[in-house]
Structure 1
Amino acid sequence: MGKRYFCDYCDRSFQDNLHNRKKHLNGVQHLRAKRVWYDLFRDAAAILQEEQTKKPCRKFLQTGQCDFGSNCRFSHMTEQDLEKLSAQVQGEKRLKELQREGADIPPGTIEDWLDKRAQRLSTAQSNRTGGSIRAPSWFLFGNGFESL
């Protein structure tokens, strides 16, 4: 049967040869799926800027549906959606400005949350045990830490 090519954007596979791959990669379905995929990772400011330049889609506003979907050249966002997006962009700008000024704002990563949680648990446990901190045996031996 030969090698098969799997397209992650379109979630389909086909026989891999030059003609088939070229035909697929230049096809409308693939280009639309690729655009939708990359649109998921755009920042709010870029989305807001693009949506503000578009006129509202009459059919989407009247019926709630549009035959063109994500390929429509008109905006499918309501005024409330645009206001929420604008508020989100302003919040992100303020946060960046505060971080540039040197304000002590935690980045909000999972590691930071885990550290804070561990500190909270250790203080709560020390309050219950009268000051001595004792880690459970599963914590000492089950996570790869040789000594604490």
Structure 2
Amino acid sequence: MGKRYYCDYCDRSFPDSADNRKKHIQGVQHQRLCKLHYDAYKEPEEILKDEMEKKPCHQFQKMGYCNFGPGCKYSHITAEEMQQLREEVQQQCLRKQGAANCEEEKEPDLDSWLVKRTMNKEIKPTNQPSVIDIEAWSLPPELASLPNLPTSLLPPNPQIFLGNVQSEWG
């Protein structure tokens, strides 16, 4: 009898060869069991983030089970479990950072994004020059002699970069 390979994830052994191992490791059952194993060690924030991105599983809601089990691409978490997970994440945040830095995760909205964006723009220095060298935007001599150049080949108006004039392309 030759050597046998034992897979800890699947609790299964089979004859050890490169082909057998490759087939086993690429198998759906092995990958599902590996994912289950590592999901048990996920942080609550990660679990919450993953579950919030998923839609609820209709079969799990109706029947209480799903044929795909933990491998289902939809969420199997109930509203109570979701709330409990949120509380756990909040408590963990309080332990790590303190009450001042922890605010409950809210649905992202446009107003809060705009406020953050304007605050970031005010703080960060801009690398745009305030005065633009007009001579840096001149036509090559070959193009200067041609009449009726398309707008895309004309040098830009320096006022455009200062935000004073709107350009027309076309």
The alignment's TM-score, normalised by the length of structure 1, stands at: 0.64
2:63 corresponds in structure 1 to 63
What do the CA deviations read for 1:26-69 (whole angstroms, capped 9, x no partner)? 11111111111100100100000010111111111111011111
How much is the aligned-residue C-alpha RMSD, in angstroms? 0.8
Q: Which residue of 2 aligns with 1:138?
A: none
> How many positions carry a matched residue from both structures?
98
In the alignment, structure 1 residue 28 sits paired with structure 2 residue 28: yes
Corresponding residue number in structure 1 for 2:165? none
Q: Match of 2:66, SS? A: coil
Q: Which residue of 2 aligns with 1:5?
A: 5
Offset at 1:95? Answer: 0.2
Percent identity at matched positions?
47
State the AA in 2 paired with 1:66.
C
Aligned pairs for 1:89-100 within 5 A: 89-98=89-98
Deviations 1:60-93 (A, max 9, x none): 1111011111111111111111000000000000
Aligned to 1:80: 80
Distance 1:18 1:56 in 2: 40
Specify which structure has the higher proportion of helix: 1
SS of equivalent to 1:41 = coil
Runs of 4+ aligned residues of structure 1 deviating over 3 Å after TM superposition are none
Q: Which has the larger radius of gyration?
A: 2
* Code of the aligned partner of 2:35: R
Quote how far apart the aligned CAs of 1:7 are: 0.3
TM-score (norm 2): 0.56
- List alignment gaps of at least 5 residues for structure 2: 99-170
State the distance in 1 between where 2:9 and 2:35 align: 9
The residue identity in structure 2 corresponding to 1:40 is A
Q: Which amino acid aligns with 1:49?
A: K
Query: Match of 2:61, as an amino acid?
Result: L
